[in-house]
Amino acid sequence: MTRESESGKPIDPVYGPEALKGWDPAEKLGTPGSYPYTRGVYPSMYTGRPWTMRQYAGFGTATESNARYRQLIANGTMGLSVAFDLPTQMGHDSDAPIAHGEVGKVGVAIDSIDDMRVLFDGIPLGEVSTSMTINAPAALLLLLYQLVAEEQGVPPERLTGTIQNDVLKEYIARGTYIFPPKPSLRLVSDIFRYCKAELPKWNTISISGYHMAEAGATPAQEIAFTLADGIEYVRTAVAAGMAVDDFAPRLSFFFVARTTILEEIAKFRAARRIWARVMREEFGAENPKSLMLRFHTQTAGVQLTAQQPEVNLVRVAVQALGAVLGGTQSLHTNSYDEAIALPTDKSARLALRTQQVLAYETDVTATVDPFAGSYVMESMTDDVENAAVELLERIEERGGAVAAIEQGFQKTEIERSAYRVALETDAGERVVVGVNRFQLAEEEPYEPLRVDPAIEAQQAARLAALRAERDQPAVDGALAALRAAAEDPRANVLYPMKEALRARATVGEVCNTLREVWGAYIPSETF
């Protein structure tokens, strides 16, 4: 019986030479580290050193998250990845009425430079690589990080890491937007220019398909919609007067790794090939680094189950293997208990150990792109590529990514896919171990990690003290300068924003200043 892939393409029981009839290895494969980068962006890949092992963490107060970061570093984490709470992601202070009940829940609460100092206390920012999952207020958190590094005496050219800074996918799948698309794209372009001048080693954006996949996108939809957003960001920067090779080498991407391991490997290989072709043919990029699709991967949180949570250890191992065989540059492995609550210290350590077993106990790091030339893998890579290119063409027909977002195209396509999966799961056609097959009569008790609700009051007290202690006229003057820059399309808002944050303006105050000029995005449901 022929099965279908997640992207809706048939998977044959047996593949042979006929699957690659007329197939040109030179055109489709090349060699590792060379165009079209199907086989990986670096010649040696993991034979030289393994991928960067990141663990995404952040909860409660900056003090609690700092303690978790120190534990992760002690356990062998090679890079930090910061999760922020919803008020921070939406540009609200912890004492704002809209933040009530959400402070510190899904990430760490950062209201000002005071919190950022605590978050990275005792962590040498010149030696670690830090990824921050932040989008609409990405510029603020990057500048707070730079300010804390300056206080540590770390020169900006030594700072390495990534801000997600991918606001377009927020309109499609996640919802933590602040401003309308046009000023949001201007802010992205300002970040590109600022980092080129001030933070040359920083990855200015991590264009994300992960959240679209979590919302229900198929692998083909995930890479198509992600690459469409990437194309929009490049067009925006070029229209602002930047040369493509001045900023494209610092672009990065963020994808999911599901349990459907073969299609996931094919997806990563297809994404590299499409991006290299687009950057060369549409934008005329000449620097090889501008053609490389470098990406971070996170295992699929949406596939974790609260039922029999230990089974998630197996799922995460399979997902991580797919990411590694697909050639990821960095990887976060989810903890097995995340479907229930925040990860415990033990579960976070086990998630990291999963990566370490893959890197040091298996032979997957011994050779580059071990699936190259496989009948099934090359056929599936072509299938995913063709399906993604078709979706990209449909987006272009609608006027590009932003126009398609405004028409609800991506969101509708993802919802249609999510609905299909839900129906298949409910009908038992799609097996989820422990949920619709192989259930237990009674689940074992589990004691999850919970965030102390008193954190909200603690953060409010910290904010009250900050406002009482700071030089208010200096804050007011800095915010006025920020407002003037936001009103001037030729200005780069990051420079006055940095001075406002240095003066101890809060995240909410800075975002509210920009809201006054740019407005706030209100989604349309007309589609």
Is the pLDDT at 450 greater than 80, yes or no?
Answer: no
* pLDDT bucket at 374, cuts 50 / 70 / 90: very high
Which of 49-58, 179-188, 244-253 is least confident? Answer: 49-58
The half-sphere exposure of 226 on its side-chain side, counting CA atoms within 13 A, is 32
pLDDT tens for each residue of 123-153 = 999 999 999 999 999 999 999 999 999 999 9
What are 103's two structure tokens? 């402070």
* pLDDT bucket at 444, cuts 50 / 70 / 90: confident
pLDDT tens for each residue of 342-351 = 888 899 999 9
Backbone torsions φ then ψ of 426, nearest 5 degrees = -60, -35
Q: Radius of gyration (Cα) for the chain, nearest Å?
A: 23
Specify whether the CB–CB gap between 282 and 396 falls below 8 A. Answer: no
Residue 39: name the closest of 29, 51, 24 by CA: 29
Which of 356-365, 472-481, 508-517, 518-527 is least confident? Answer: 518-527
pLDDT score, position 448 = 74
Residue 449 forms beta bridges with which residues?
342
* pLDDT bucket at 219, cuts 50 / 70 / 90: very high
pLDDT tens for each residue of 261-304 = 999 999 999 999 999 999 999 999 999 999 999 999 999 999 99
pLDDT score, position 527 = 42
d(CA 368, CA 348): 29
pLDDT tens for each residue of 302-323 = 999 999 999 999 999 999 999 9
Is the pLDDT at 114 greater than 60, yes or no?
Answer: yes
Task: Kindly state the average pLDDT of the residues 215-240.
Answer: 97
Domains recognised in the chain with CATH numbers = 3-29+44-361+392-426 (3.20.20.240)
